[in-house]
Amino acid sequence: MVLANAVEPKQSSSPLLEVSNLTKIFGSGKDQVVAVDEISFEIQPGEILSLLGESGSGKTTTARMLLRLSAPTQGEIFFEGQDVNAVKSVDYWKRVQAIFQDPFSSFNSFYSVHSFLGKAFRLTNNHNSAADKRARMEEAMEKVGLNAEELLFKRPHELSGGQRQRLMLARALLIGPDLLIADEPTSMIDASSRVGILNMLMDLSRQHGMSIMFITHDIGLAYYTSERLLIMNEGKIVEEGTAEQVVEHPTHPYTKRLLDDVPRLRRKWDI
C-alpha cells in the first residue's frame, strides 16, 4: 500500500531560469582563468535566492552570462524552458534586468537621468505621452528614494554612487522584469538606507511575483533576504539549500568558514 503524503511531491512548477554546466574561461595557456566552472542551478518563478561568495569567486561573471552580456565558454541557459540563444536580446531584457555592483560602468555620461530612464520605455514599447512617461519616471524615482524634481535632468557624474544604484533600481521598476539580478545592489548605498531598499525589493517580489537573484559577499544580506542560498567558491557552487539549512547546518568547509566570520548572524541582522 502506498501511503498518501508519505513523500511530499517536489514542487512541480517549471523553473523560470535553468542553468546547466555553465562555464566561463578567460585567457588561454598559463594566463587562463576558469572564472565559472560548470555550475548548474534553477530559479523558480517568484523566488528570492542569493549567490554568495567571496570576491573573485565568479559571481559577477555568472551574472553577466545570465544577462547575456558575456558568452559562456560552455553550458546552457534556459528561460521558461527555452534556450536563451533562441530569444532576441531585447525581448530577453524585458524579462531579465539587473542592478550592478559598479554603477559607474553602466552609465553613459552624455545621458541625463531623464534619458537613461526613458530607455526603459523603448524596451517595453510604451508609446504613452511624454507627460505620462515623465509621471511614471518621477513615481519610480520617488519609490526608490530619489528626489525627481532635483535629479531628473542631472548627469551621472553629478550623482553619488548610491544615487546611481537607486537609479538602476528605478529603471528596473519601470521595466517590470520577471527576474531581477542584483549584483551587490546596495554596496554604494549608506548602511542606514540599505534595509529599506532591500525591503522594497522583497515587497516587489511578493507583489508582482518577480524573482530576485541577489549576488553578494554579505552572508547577512543573503540570509535576511533569501529563501535559498547558492554558495560559490573558486567558480564552483559548493553548497546549495534553504537559507536555514545552509546557515544552521553548513556541510562544506568553505561555507563553515564564511559563517565563522559572522558569529552574530543568527541573532539579528542589524546593519
Ligand X SMILES: Nc1ncnc2c1ncn2[C@@H]1O[C@H](COP(=O)(O)OP(=O)(O)O)[C@@H](O)[C@H]1O
Nearest distance in Å: CB 181, Mg ion:
12
| Count of residues interacting with ligand X (CB under 6 A) | 11
- Residue 60 binds Mg ion (CB under 5 A): yes
Cα–Cα distance for residue pair 217/207, rounded to 1 Å: 27
Binds 45, which of Mg ion, ligand X, none (CB < 5 to 8 A, cut-off by type)? none
3-state secondary structure of 34: strand
Nearest distance in Å: CB 26, ligand X:
3
Burial (0-12, 13-18, 19+ Cβ within 10 Å), 232: buried
Stretch of residues binding ligand X (CB under 6 A), selected from 53-61, 86-94, 124-132, 218-226: 53-61
Nearest distance in Å: CB 270, ligand X:
25
* Contacts to ligand X from residues 20-49, by CB under 6 A: 26, 33, 35
Of 80, 76, 170, 89, give the one whose Cα is nearest residue 123.
89
Per DSSP, the chain holds a count of helices (H) and strands (E) of 10, 10
Residue 208 parent element (H or E) = helix 191-208
Nearest distance in Å: CB 219, ligand X:
14
Stretch of residues binding ligand X (CB under 6 A), selected from 10-18, 57-65, 114-122, 148-156: 57-65
E strand intervals along 27-63: 33-43, 48-52
Burial (0-12, 13-18, 19+ Cβ within 10 Å), 240: middle
213 close to 50: Cβ distance less than 8 angstroms: yes
Stretch of residues binding Mg ion (CB under 5 A), selected from 38-46, 58-66, 85-93, 125-133: 58-66
**Angle at CA of residue 120, ends 89 and 90, nearest 5°:** 10
- Residue 55 binds ligand X (CB under 6 A): yes
Query: Closest CB to ligand X among 59 and 171?
Result: 59
Binds 61, which of ligand X, Mg ion, none (CB < 5 to 8 A, cut-off by type)? ligand X
Of positions 53, 72, 103, 250, contacts ligand X by CB under 6 A: 53
Residue ranges that bind ligand X, judged by CB under 6 A: 26, 33, 35, 53, 55-61
